[in-house]
């Protein structure tokens, strides 16, 4: 196994930690934090796979997910926080 393959394997194991935290947590904020972490880690994992395959189109999609994907999630968190404050 090469270094990059070991890195991908370690990243997949690191991706399982927030998934476990999501299943365990009852608080909505903990769940949103864990899901945001999953999104970021998955985007970086896709970027590493793109480098391994030397496929820059996959890397471009990963960068779009990384830069735009969490923005919508943060907007949702802000809306939920405003709903909680108003109640």
Q: Pick from 67, 66, 46: which is nearest to 57 by CA?
A: 46
pTM (2 d.p.): 0.66
Q: Which domain holds residue 34?
A: 3-86
Q: What is the pLDDT of residue 87?
A: 62
How many domains, in total, are found in the chain?
A: 1
Q: What is the pLDDT of residue 15?
A: 84
Mean pLDDT value of segment 29-48: 81
**41 has pLDDT over 80:** yes
The residue among 62, 8, 16 whose CA lies nearest residue 40 is 62
Give the span between the Cα atoms of 87 and 83, in whole angstroms: 6
């Amino acid at each position: 196994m090469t270094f990059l393959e070991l890195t991908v394997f370690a990243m997949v194991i690191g991706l399982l930690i927030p998934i476990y935290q999501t299943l365990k947590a009852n608080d909505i904020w903990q769940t949103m934090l864990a899901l945001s972490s999953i999104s970021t880690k998955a985007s970086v994992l896709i970027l590493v796979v793109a480098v391994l395959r030397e496929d820059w189109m996959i890397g471009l999609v990963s960068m779009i997910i990384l830069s735009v994907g969490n923005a919508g999630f943060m907007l949702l968190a802000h809306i939920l926080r405003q709903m909680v404050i108003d109640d």
